């Protein structure tokens, strides 16, 4: 495969569809020279970088047809990299063996051992004893200690977390409300709260990936948020007047008025919402935050107790806010 990958940026298939039954219409073929040809709908400068993702790796169809679900077993799988799969004990461990027939530079080590470790404490013990060289994820609260060790190295991974708006539902069908939320969120505070192992991001492309721009999107600006909240609040009030039994609307109204500093009115909306739905996760969390902001930790803990059995993110978020006594409210 090291010699047969060639990309042709030609006219593409009209559009991808799982209903296509004729594979020739997909836009992927092999030419007379044995090269793989991919036809795209339009020029795409970053397409070669997409081919480095595991989802685009070529797989031998004859191997899958011959072995079925067992085509990934060590004795069946066909690979092209610097290592070959030697042992795979599912859910426990795997062993990679150096591929001496690899076309590129020869690997320096003969074998690589990987372990499926469920408990981070176990992985940490193996690292500290010199038996573990690499760990994929590390709890943020452990980073400060690990960074003091001379053998510890870290490198970022590309990924992102985000919350999306349902723009078909009030109040998020109003662009002013959506923008106000974005202006009001201090992403840096959130990443610091999570232990400092993440970076704030205001766009879709994470740092380190082609196309990343640091200042793209809406940046944290509480004054702009307050202005937009005020402009959009009339929409919330109209929604409330048309549906006074909707706790979600009351939650949004409480959140909005709290963000512009009207805690008394916000509390009224939250309590009205809880009267309709006592176990509403969002209202209980945000009302708890309000109580922390107004120095009523006993009442904040009451909201936390309500969330205790929900097995939801709202419990963890409010718990952290209470522990930091409001310094991390977001």
Kindly tell me the sign of the dihedral angle through the C-alpha atoms of 40, 81, 122, 157.
Answer: negative
**Tally of helices (H runs) and strands (E runs) in the chain:** 12, 5
Radius of gyration of the chain (CA): 27
Going by the DSSP 8-state scheme, the letter that residue 92 receives in this structure is T
pLDDT on residue 129: 87
Residue identified by tokens 């298939």 is 13
Going by the DSSP 8-state scheme, the letter that residue 70 receives in this structure is G
Alpha-carbon 177 to chain mean position: 23
Domain boundaries, the chain: 1-58, 175-323
Query: Which residue ranges in the chain fall short of pLDDT 50?
Result: 1-17, 330
pLDDT on residue 327: 56
Q: What is the pTM of this model?
A: 0.50
pLDDT on residue 161: 82
pLDDT on residue 3: 36
Interatomic CA distance for residues 258 and 302, integer angstroms: 19
Cα–Cα distances (Å) from 231 to 21, 81, 240, 256, in that order, read 52, 58, 16, 11
Residue 78 token pair: 């066909």
CATH class of the domain comprising 175-323: mainly alpha
Residue 107 token pair: 């690997």
């Amino acid at each position: 495969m090291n010699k047969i990958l060639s990309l042709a940026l030609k006219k593409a298939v009209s559009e991808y569809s799982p209903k296509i039954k004729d594979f020739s219409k997909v836009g992927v073929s092999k030419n007379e020279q044995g090269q793989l040809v991919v036809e795209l709908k339009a020029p795409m400068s970053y397409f070669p970088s997409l081919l480095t993702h595991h989802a685009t790796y070529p797989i031998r169809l004859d191997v899958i047809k011959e072995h079925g679900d067992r085509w990934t077993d060590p004795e069946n799988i066909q690979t092209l990299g610097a290592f070959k799969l030697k042992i795979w004990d599912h859910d426990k461990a795997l062993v990679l063996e150096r591929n001496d027939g690899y076309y590129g530079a020869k690997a320096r080590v003969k074998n690589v051992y990987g372990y499926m470790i469920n408990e981070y404490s176990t992985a940490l013990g193996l690292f500290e004893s010199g038996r573990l060289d690499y760990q994929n994820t590390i709890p943020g609260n452990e980073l400060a200690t690990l960074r003091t060790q001379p053998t510890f190295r870290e490198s970022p991974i590309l990924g992102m977390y985000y919350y999306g708006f349902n723009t078909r539902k009030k109040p998020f069908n109003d662009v002013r409300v959506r923008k106000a939320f974005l202006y009001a969120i201090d992403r840096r505070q959130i990443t610091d709260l999570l232990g400092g192992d993440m970076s704030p991001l205001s766009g879709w492309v994470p740092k380190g990936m082609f196309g990343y721009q640091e200042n793209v999107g809406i940046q944290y600006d509480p004054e702009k948020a307050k202005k937009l909240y005020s402009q959009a609040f009339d929409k919330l009030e109209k929604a409330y007047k048309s549906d006074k039994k909707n706790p979600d609307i009351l939650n949004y109204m409480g959140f909005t008025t709290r963000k512009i500093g009207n805690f008394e009115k916000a509390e009224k909306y939250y309590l009205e919402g809880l009267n309709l739905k006592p176990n509403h996760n969002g209202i209980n969390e945000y009302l708890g935050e309000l109580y922390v902001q107004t120095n009523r930790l006993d009442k904040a803990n009451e909201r936390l107790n309500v969330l205790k059995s929900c097995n939801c993110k709202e419990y963890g978020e409010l718990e952290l806010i209470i522990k930091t006594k409001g310094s991390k409210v977001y």
